[in-house]
């Protein structure tokens, strides 16, 4: 985790995201970039002839106000992080995802539907995950934000997404006091001899984990994951992010959608 990219929009929790990213960077002697990315000042409505100038100017001023607020928050943080911003007309997901390709970890915020001022689309975090393929630590929009990773719960599924999430989380798993792997699947079969498995993989990387397996998957995996994380007193959930783009619509898997909607602890996702 040498390169950490933080979404910095000037919103209520952006400085907390930045502070947490800095603490991660200190552990790995890495660097942090705070990237300002918000909805550009575009006009979708057709205004009467001669009336375009006023609304366009108002949109520019609104965007300039968002930027100024973010810059002031960044400066107040007195941070060693570096500042960057997407182009004025860049769509925020595309602009952020382009920079995400060069980061080891993204730090994003959960969508807060109660905010009166929405600076990015509601699906910003999941869309960035899908577009960039990079691991992202998504932080909840409520509650205290302490540095996570002491008590980690891994939601395991034998898929590439889960495997990438575990690999991305290895620097955190090595430092964890407790790692619990939760899985709903029958015992794997079909491979004999020196077969590879998750327990052996983690042990080779210096991670001793407790493995909980149940054969029958619950009807609502996402809610069950969050409930189990609460029972385990986990301060970090690691899981794969499932979904795809269908035309202009982002279609998420049920567990991913439920966790992003109801999460109360930090979640490290990877698509």
pLDDT tens by residue, 35-77: 999 988 764 444 454 555 557 778 888 889 999 999 999 999 8
Domain-located, residue 144: no
Residue 83 belongs to domain spanning? 3-139
Choose between 50 and 222: higher pLDDT: 222
Cβ pair 245, 251 in contact under 8 A: yes
Regarding whether 176 and 207 lie in a shared domain, the answer is yes
Q: Quick check: is 156 in a domain?
A: yes
Identify the pLDDT of residue 189: 65
The answer on 129 and 15 residing in a single domain is yes
Total length of the chain: 271
Last residue of a domain, one of 117, 139, 161: 139
Which CATH number do you get for residue 244?
A: 3.40.50.620
- From 97, 114, 139, give the residue that closes a domain: 139
Q: Considering its fold, how many domains does the chain have in total?
A: 2
State pTM to two decimals.
0.90
Question: Per DSSP, which regions of 74-201 are E strands?
Answer: 82-85, 105-109, 136-139, 151-155, 178-184
Same domain, 19 and 132: yes
38 and 75 share a domain?
yes
């Amino acid at each position: 985790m040498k390169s950490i990219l933080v979404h910095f929009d000037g919103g209520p929790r952006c400085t907390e995201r930045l502070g947490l990213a800095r603490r991660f960077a200190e552990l790995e002697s890495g660097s942090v970039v705070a990237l300002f990315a918000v909805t550009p000042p575009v006009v979708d409505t057709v205004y009467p002839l001669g009336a375009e100038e006023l609304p366009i100017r108002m949109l520019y001023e609104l965007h300039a106000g968002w930027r100024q607020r973010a810059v002031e928050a960044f400066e107040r943080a007195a941070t060693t992080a570096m500042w960057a911003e997407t182009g004025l007309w860049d769509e925020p997901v595309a602009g952020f995802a382009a920079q995400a390709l060069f980061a080891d970890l993204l730090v994003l915020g959960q969508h807060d539907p109660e905010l009166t001022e929405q600076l990015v689309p509601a699906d910003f975090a999941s869309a960035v995950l899908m577009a960039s393929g990079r691991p992202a630590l998504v932080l909840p929009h409520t509650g205290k934000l302490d540095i996570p990773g002491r008590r980690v719960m891994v939601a395991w599924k034998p898929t590439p997404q889960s495997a990438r999430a575990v690999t991305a989380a290895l620097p955190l798993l090595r430092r964890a006091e407790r790692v619990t792997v939760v899985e709903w699947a029958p015992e794997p079969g079909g491979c004999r001899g020196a077969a590879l498995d998750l327990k052996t993989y983690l042990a080779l990387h210096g991670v001793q984990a407790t493995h909980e397996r149940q054969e029958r998957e619950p009807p609502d995996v996402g809610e069950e994951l969050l409930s189990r994380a609460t029972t385990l007193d986990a301060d970090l959930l690691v899981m794969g992010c499932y979904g795809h783009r269908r035309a202009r619509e982002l279609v998420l898997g049920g567990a991913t959608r439920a966790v992003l909607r109801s999460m109360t602890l930090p979640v490290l996702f990877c698509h």
